[in-house]
Amino acid sequence: MGGGIARRLLGAGYTVHGYNRTRGRAAALEEAGLVLEATPREVAERAEIVFSMVTNVAALAAVTEGPDGILAGLGRGKLYVEMSTVTPEASRALAERVADVGARMVDAPVSGSISTLEAGRLTIMVGGDEDAFERLRPVLLAVGSTVRRIGGNGQALVMKIGINLSLHVQMVAFCEGLLLAEKEGIEREVAVDAMLSSVIASPMLKYRGPFVLQQPEQAWFDVNMMQKDMAYALELGRRLDVPMPTTAVSNELLTAARGMGFEHRDFAVVYEVLARMAGLGGKEA
C-alpha cells in the first residue's frame, strides 16, 4: 500500500523522496521518479510533508525513533501524515512528540484495497487539527477520492479499527452461508456467484469473496495483520466498555487459521478453517 501511495503522488506530479528497509523493493518506484534516501531522517529533512505506513507499533517506532528516524528530521512547519493502523494511544503519543519539535502530525489510516488504491478510489480518514487537515487535503486527494476529517489525533484510528473488525466479521458470515450451500451439494462457484449477486454483497465482499475460490498469489491483508487489528478492537472495547461478542468469536477463527499454518494467507482463508471444522475438505488443502 505504501508503494502504491508513493506511485499515485508521483503520478500527480509531486517530487517524492522515499525510504524502504529493503532497498531493492523500491527499484520500480525509483524508475518512476522516486528519490530513494538512505534513512527515514533524510526523507523527513528533504520533504515538506512526510508520510509513513508500516505494519504495527514496533515498526512505527523503528522508523521514527533514534538518530536516523523521522523525528530527528522533522522541524518547524512540517507536516507528518502517519497512515499505519496502530493503537490510538501510540499515535497520540507520537503526535505529542512531533509537536515538541515544531511540526504537526495527523493519523490518516485508509479504507480500501490495492485495487481501490490503483483506481484512485481509496478512502482516507484523518485525525488531527483542522488547519493541518486543510493544508493536507489537496495532497491526500491525489491518493484517494474521499478524504474526511474524523476528529482529533487518534480518532481516525478508532474509526479505522471499527471498520476493519467489520471486514472480518462480514467475511465469517459470508463463509458460514457459503458452507451451508456447499455441504448441501451446491457447487461453491455457483454459491459464490449467487451470494455476490444478492443484497449482502458489500464492496469488500465483491472483491474478497472470490478469494474463497482462489487465494491471491500475494495476500492483500493476511491473517496476522487482521488479527492484530482485531486485538486492537477488543482492547478498545474493554477500555470503552463496549461488548464485542461477534468480534471475539470471529477473532478465534483467526487463531485457528494460524494454528493450521495459514497465517500468511489473505484472511479470506477463514473459509478453509470453517470448512475443515465442518468436515469438508476445502480447495486450499
Tell me, yes or no, whether 191 lies in a domain: yes
Question: Is residue 115 over pLDDT 70?
Answer: yes
Q: Are residues 20 and 112 in the same domain?
A: yes
Residue 284 scores a pLDDT above 80: no
Q: What is the model's pLDDT at position 91?
A: 97
**Domain match, 173 and 67 both:** no
pLDDT for 219 equals 87
Per-residue pLDDT at 283: 53
CA-based R_g, the chain, Å:
20
Report which residue type is found at 50: V
Q: What is the number of H-type helices and E-type strands within the chain?
A: 14, 8
Answer yes or no: do 122 and 258 share one domain: no
Asked whether residue 17 falls in the same domain as residue 85, the answer is yes
- pLDDT of residue 285 exceeding 80, the answer is no
Looking at the structure, do residues 189 and 110 belong to the same domain, yes or no? no
d(CA 168, CA 115): 18
Q: Do residues 145 and 54 both lie within one domain? A: yes
> What angle (nearest 5°) sits at the alpha carbon of residue 181, between those of residues 177 and 184?
140
For residue 138, what is its C-alpha cell? 489537496
Total tally of structural domains belonging to the chain: 2
Q: Which of 39-43, 148-152, 212-216 has the lowest mean pLDDT?
A: 212-216
C-alpha separations of 36 from 21, 62, 77, 137 in Å: 11, 18, 23, 25
Q: How many Å apart are CA 223 and CA 227, to the nearest integer?
A: 6
Supply the CATH number for residue 187's domain: 1.10.1040.10
Mean pLDDT lowest among 29-33, 117-121, 132-136, 163-167? 117-121
Query: pLDDT at position 116, please?
Result: 76
Domain hosting 112: range is: 2-153
Contact 255, 227 (CB under 8 A): yes
Is 282 contained in some domain? no
Query: What letter represents residue 259's amino acid?
Result: G
- For residue 92, is it within any domain? yes
Element (H or E) spanning 212, and its range?
none
Q: What's residue 281's pLDDT? A: 67
Whether 71 has a pLDDT exceeding 80, the answer reads yes
Average of per-residue pLDDT across 267-281: 93
Q: What is the pLDDT of residue 282?
A: 53
Tell me, yes or no, whether 100 and 181 share the same domain: no
Average pLDDT, the chain: 93
Residue 63 lies in a domain: yes
Cβ neighbors of 179 (< 8 A, separation 6 or more) are 271, 274, 275, 278, 280
Buried/exposed code over 100-139 (b: 16+ C-beta within 10 A; e: otherwise): eeebbbbbbbbbbbbebbeeeebbbbbbbbeebbeebeeb
